[in-house]
Structure 1
Amino acid sequence: MMRLIGRNLSPYARRVAIAMTLLDVPHEREYLSVTADPQRGLEVNPVGRVPALQLDDGDTLIESGAILDYLMDLVGPAKSLIPPHGKPRRDCLQVMAIACGVLDKAVNAIYEVRRRPAEKVHEPWRQHLLTQVAGGLAALEARAAAIAAPGQWLLGQHISMADVSLGVMMSFLGVMLPEAVPAGRYAALENFRQRCEALPAFQAHPLETP
C-alpha cells in the first residue's frame, strides 16, 4: 500500500492527503516532522521536505504538485480532480499556483520571525513577503466571490484541486499567520474555508497545530 509521509501541519502534505481521500486511493500515513527528525526527512526526500509518497513499486515521489499529477493519472480523467484539458485545466492550475504561491510566501514570513533571533529579523523583507501574500489573497478572494451560485465550486458543480488547495491555504493562514487574514477582509475566502472544512475528506485530515 502507498504511504504518504508528512504531517498535516504542512499544507502541502495535507492537500495531498485530502485528495487521496476524495479519490478513494488507499494509503498509509507517516506523520513526519522534518524539523523534529531532519535525518528521516533526508531519507525520504533529498531536500528534506514533505510530502513524499512511497509507491507500491518502491519508488518515492516528492513535492505535492508531482504527487498530485501522479494521482490524477492513476485514477484517470473521469475521477481526476484536475481537468484533463482546455480552459478548465488552465483555471484549476492557475488557482493552485496562486494558492501555493501564497503559502510559499507565508511560510517564509513565518520563518523570518520563528527561525531567526529577534535581532536578526529583517522586517522590510517580512513586510515584502506579506505584501505578496496579500496580493495572492486578493486575487483568490475575487475568484471565490465570483462563484455563480450557492453550492457550486470554483470550476462548477464538482470539487477540484483548486478548491482543495484554496481551503487548505486559508486554514493554514488562520492558524499560522492570522495577521494575513484579519476578520472580515476576505469574507468569500473565509466562507469557502468553512465549507471545505465541513467536508468529510477535510475532517479526516485535520490541520495540526505546531
Structure 2
Amino acid sequence: MYKLVNAGPSPYGRKVAVALHEKGLPFETIYDLPWAEATETRRHSPLEQLPILLRDNGEAIYDSSFILDWLEWFHPETALLPGPLEDRVQARRLQVLGERLMEVAQAMIFEHHRPAPAQAVIERQERKLNSGLAAAEELVANSVIEGDRPHLGEIALATTVLAWEFVIEQGMIPKLPALVWSSRFSNIAKLVRRLECRESFERSRPKPMTVDFDTELK
C-alpha cells in the first residue's frame, strides 16, 4: 500500500490523493509539518517539500507533478489523461495553469505577511492570478474532452481554487480579492462544483493546519 505524506490544506497533496482515489489505489495518509525540525518530509525529500508518495519498498517519489506522471506510467489502466494528442495537450495546459496559479497565490500571500509588503509585487501577482484564471476559464469553456473521470488538468485547477476557499474560510489568510474566484469565473465554478461531488474529492477534503508565516519567511 502506498503512503502519502501530505499537509492538511495542501492542494498539491490533494491532487495526488484525488488521482489515487480515481485510480482505485489504496493508500495511507501521513500528515506532516514540513517546516518542523524532525519531519517525514525531511527524511524522504531532498527538497523538503510535500507531497511525497512512499512505495512499499521505501522508494520516495516527490514533487506533485512528477508523482502524477509516475502514477500514469505505472498505473495506466485507469488513465487520467485523454488519449488523443490534442486533448492531452489541452489537459496538460490546464494542469500547468492550475499548478502555477497556486504558486502565484502563495507568493502573494507571503508578500502580504511581510513586515513591509511591496505593493508592486502584490499587484504583479494579482495580475498573474487574474490572467491565469481568465485563461483557465476559456479552456474550460471550450473543452470538448470526453471521459467519465476528471483529467489531471481539471484536478489541478479544482484543488487549487478549492484550497483558496478553504484557507479563507478557516481564517488562515485574509479574504484577498484576487483569490475570490467563483463569482467571476462561472465555467470554472461549474466544473469545480461538479467535481466536489465525486467520491475522490469528498475523501480528500483539506484539513486545518497551523501555518507559521514568520518561520516560512525567514
Using structure 2 for the length normalisation, give the TM-score. Answer: 0.84
Tell me the distance in 2 between the aligned counterparts of 1:164 and 1:30: 21
Q: Please name the residue that 1:156 is paired with.
A: 146
- Classify the secondary structure of the residue corresponding to 2:206: coil
- Classify the secondary structure of the residue corresponding to 2:38: helix
Q: Please name the residue that 1:192 is paired with.
A: 191
- Cα 1:73–1:183 change in 2 (3 A) is closer
User: Would you say 1:107 and 2:106 are equivalent positions?
Assistant: yes
Residue identity in the other structure for 2:166: V
Alignment of 1:10-49 (within 5 A): 10-35=10-35, 37-40=36-39, 41-49=41-49
Q: Please name the residue that 1:88 is paired with.
A: 87
What fraction of aligned residue pairs are identical, expressed as a percent? 22
Give the superposed CA RMSD: 1.8
Q: Please name the residue that 1:145 is paired with.
A: 141
Tell me the distance in 1 between the aligned counterparts of 2:182 and 2:22: 30
Gaps of at least 5 residues in structure 1 are 149-154
Tell me the distance in 1 between the aligned counterparts of 2:18 and 2:37: 25
Q: Please name the residue that 1:54 is paired with.
A: 54
Q: Deviations over 1:16-56 (max 9, x none)?
A: 00110110111111011213x25313222112110011112
8 Å Cα contact 1:2-1:28 kept in structure 2: yes
Residue 203 of structure 1 deviates from its aligned partner by: 0.6
- Cα 1:183–1:81 change in 2 (3 A) is closer
Q: Which moved more, 1:181-190 or 1:2-11?
A: 181-190
- Cα 1:197–1:183 change in 2 (3 A) is closer
- Corresponding residue to 1:131 among 127, 130, 134: 127
- Cα 1:156–1:85 change in 2 (3 A) is closer
- Classify the secondary structure of the residue corresponding to 1:25: coil
Residue identity in the other structure for 2:196: E
- Cα 1:62–1:38 change in 2 (3 A) is farther
Q: Please name the residue that 1:69 is paired with.
A: 69
Q: Please name the residue that 2:212 is paired with.
A: none
Q: Which moved more, 1:168-177 or 1:134-143?
A: 168-177
Residue identity in the other structure for 2:4: L
- Classify the secondary structure of the residue corresponding to 1:48: coil
Tell me the distance in 1 between the aligned counterparts of 2:99 and 2:61: 18
The aligned length equals: 199
Q: Deviations over 1:134-167 (max 9, x none)?
A: 111001111222346xxxxxx2133211111121
Q: Please name the residue that 1:152 is paired with.
A: none
Tell me the distance in 2 between the aligned counterparts of 1:87 and 1:193: 23
8 Å Cα contact 1:110-1:176 kept in structure 2: no
Q: Please name the residue that 1:3 is paired with.
A: 3
User: Would you say 1:205 and 2:194 are equivalent positions?
Assistant: no
Q: Please name the residue that 1:151 is paired with.
A: none
Q: Please name the residue that 2:214 is paired with.
A: none
User: Would you say 1:174 and 2:173 are equivalent positions?
Assistant: no
Residue identity in the other structure for 2:147: Q
Gaps of at least 5 residues in structure 2 are 169-174, 210-218
